[in-house]
Amino acid sequence: MSETIKILLLENIHPTAHEMLKAEGFVVEGMSQALKGDELKKKLQGVHILGIRSKTQVTREILEAAPELLSIGCFCIGTNQVDLVTANRRGIPVFNAPFSNTRSVAELMIAEIIMLARQLGDRSREVHEGNWKKTATSCYEIRGKTLGIIGYGHIGSQLGVLAEAMGMRVIFYDIQTKLPMGNNRSCPDLDTLLAESDFVTLHVPETPQTKNMIGAAELGKMRKGSYLLNASRGTVVVLPALADALRSGHLAGAAIDVYPEEPESNGEGFQCPLRGLPNVILTPHIGGSTAEAQAAIGREVATSLLRFARFGTTTSAVNFPQVEVPRIANTHRIMNVHRNVPGVLRDINRIVSDRGANIQSQILATDPEIGYLIMDLNQDISDAVCEDMDALPTSIKTRVVF
Ligand code: NAI
């Protein structure tokens, strides 16, 4: 495609993304608000790439009204604001930033482990209220204590490294085999981890297996006087059971950042069975909320969009076959999205040979519905080949990228 790529960034996306995309020569328009309905449809005319955060709903209707749209960047973690299935069928890869706030969450956990061990939340509140209650009772160093990490993925393993540097002994449990970082040690099962840990922290995704993963039975298997931390997903811990374990004194404290039901916006009221319990830190889903994470999200998604616009790369797209092909000098690249039916490659190869060109490289990846092909030709006839390919009844989107 020879025309300039036009990008619309809604919802106050971080300036790093604007700068990176402009530096590539793309035309970038930014808006602070989310758009919806007809306003969004109108604004999308002529737009090739759309950047959003969580508030813009990109429905089937919106996608059908945006014929030039090539890709969508969700500058956040979640992607359920986009109709991913329709985007896939229309040849539109969707990117997000699942790991840009990993470090922010891991640092918060370190802070909370120390806060729980020293009952800092309570002491601070007492002094704010004018009560001087200096005490060392049930206050501990974290050095030498055991941290049990459930879910040793990006956050869990990063936390393991930081905790070890603070002098903690780190064990973890994961359903997949994971390489232990430093001296972290893998546990054979969840029960072993619960029985051995002074602090248990959850870093698993929301899946049918992790729903209510920590209930009364599991809390009962934790050490007396231990602590529970959850900054993963609200459905993982049964909060009434946790409240019981705290009230009975079996657990000495908890830090919770995520809840089964969370308010949609700031200022809404919030109910939770843990409110008012001693040595319980409750935070409003802020695990990943830092300036650094916002900037990193801007960089991560802008990089994915750039690589797709420039090279056709779809690695890390959430709804699309993943293809990444290194650039070969003196070649001309065409990318094609087509319906995944027999004979497409045969038709495409016939077009290329009829035009007298030679295929330098050709990579195809498919999912049940679509195929995504990146093809490098050694003659500059890409525009003509592109036109022929686009005319195939199986084609969804065809584009020359260089
Ligand atoms: P990840 O995908 O890198 O790691 C998750 C790990 O959990 C994987 O190693 C996986 O094998 C393991 N796992 C899955 N099911 C399991 C089970 N039943 N038992 C044991 N292990 C299991 O994810 P990442 O980036 O580390 O995020 C972890 C959680 O943190 C996610 O739920 C995410 O939504 C949440 N999160 C919360 C934030 C906040 O603001 N509080 C910010 C960022 C992420």
For residue 377, give the CATH number of its domain. 3.30.70.260
In the set 262, 292, 369, 387, the catalytic residue is 262
**Alpha helix (H) ranges present in 197-268?**
216-221, 239-247
> Which ligand 1 atom sits closest to the C-alpha of 204?
7
308 and 381 inside one domain: no
Our answer on whether the CB atom of 205 is closer than 6 Å to any ligand 1 atom is yes
Neighbours of 7 (CB within 10 A): 26
Our answer on whether the CB atom of 91 is closer than 6 Å to any ligand 1 atom is no
Cβ within 8 Å of residue 47, ≥6 positions away: 6, 7, 8, 66, 68, 69
Best residue among 96, 101, 232 to mutate for probing ligand 1's pocket (most ligand atoms within 8 Å of CB) is 232
Give the DSSP H or E segment for 337: strand 332-339
CA–centroid distance, 152 to ligand 1, in Å, is 8
Give the DSSP H or E segment for 159: helix 154-165
Our answer on whether the CB atom of 203 is closer than 6 Å to any ligand 1 atom is yes
77 and 115 inside one domain: no
300 and 374 inside one domain: no
CA–centroid distance, 210 to ligand 1, in Å, is 10
Best residue among 150, 174, 212, 281 to mutate for probing ligand 1's pocket (most ligand atoms within 8 Å of CB) is 174
CA–centroid distance, 113 to ligand 1, in Å, is 18
368 and 352 inside one domain: yes
94 and 157 inside one domain: no
- Evaluate whether residue 12 is within a structural domain: yes
330 and 307 inside one domain: no
Closest C-alpha to 238, from 263, 210, 203, 201: 210
Our answer on whether the CB atom of 103 is closer than 6 Å to any ligand 1 atom is no
Please give the structure tokens belonging to residue 280: 């319980």
- Evaluate whether residue 401 is within a structural domain: yes
Q: How far apart are CA 206 and CA 348, in angstroms?
A: 42
328-332, Cβ contacts within 8 angstroms, sequence gap of 24 or more: 328/360, 328/361, 328/376, 330/378, 331/360, 331/361, 331/376, 331/377, 331/378, 332/376, 332/377, 332/378, 332/379, 332/380, 332/381, 332/382, 332/400, 332/402
- Evaluate if residue 1 carries a pLDDT over 50: no
Instruction: Give residue 125's domain range.
Output: 102-282
176 and 216 inside one domain: yes
The pLDDT score that the predictor gives to residue 2 is 45
56 three-class SS: coil
Give the DSSP H or E segment for 275: none
- Whose alpha carbon is nearest atom 37 of ligand 1? 232
CA–centroid distance, 2 to ligand 1, in Å, is 42
Please give the structure tokens belonging to residue 295: 């900037």
β-bridge partners, 58? 82
Q: How far apart are CA 258 and CA 305, in angstroms?
A: 30
135 and 240 inside one domain: yes
Residue 113's CATH number: 3.40.50.720
CA–centroid distance, 205 to ligand 1, in Å, is 4
Q: What pLDDT band is residue 95 in, cutting at 50, 70 and 90?
A: very high
Best residue among 154, 177, 203, 289 to mutate for probing ligand 1's pocket (most ligand atoms within 8 Å of CB) is 203
Please give the structure tokens belonging to residue 358: 């030679």
Number of folded domains in the chain? 3
Give per-residue pLDDT as tens, 46-93: 999 999 998 999 999 999 999 999 999 999 988 989 999 999 999 999
CA–centroid distance, 151 to ligand 1, in Å, is 6
Give the DSSP H or E segment for 41: helix 37-43
Mean pLDDT of the region 175-204: 98
Mean pLDDT, the chain, rounded, equals: 95
- Whose alpha carbon is nearest atom 32 of ligand 1? 205
The structure tokens 């657990």 sit at 251
In the set 203, 233, 332, 399, the catalytic residue is 233
The pLDDT score that the predictor gives to residue 161 is 98
The pTM of this model reads 0.86
Give per-residue pLDDT as tens, 190-214: 999 999 999 999 999 999 999 999 9
76 and 108 inside one domain: no
The pLDDT score that the predictor gives to residue 3 is 66
Active site residue 233: yes
- Evaluate whether residue 287 is within a structural domain: no
Active site residue 128: no
The edge-to-edge listing of strands for the beta sheet with 185-186 is: 185-186, 169-173, 146-150, 199-202, 226-230, 251-256, 280-282
82 and 14 inside one domain: yes
87 and 111 inside one domain: no
Neighbours of 356 (CB within 10 A): 8
Give per-residue pLDDT as tens, 253-312: 999 999 999 987 888 899 999 999 999 999 999 999 999 999 999 999 999 999 999 999
Domain boundary residue, one of 228, 253, 282: 282
- Evaluate whether residue 395 is within a structural domain: yes
300 and 384 inside one domain: no
- Evaluate whether residue 161 is within a structural domain: yes
Phi, psi values for residue 128, rounded to 5°:
-55, -35
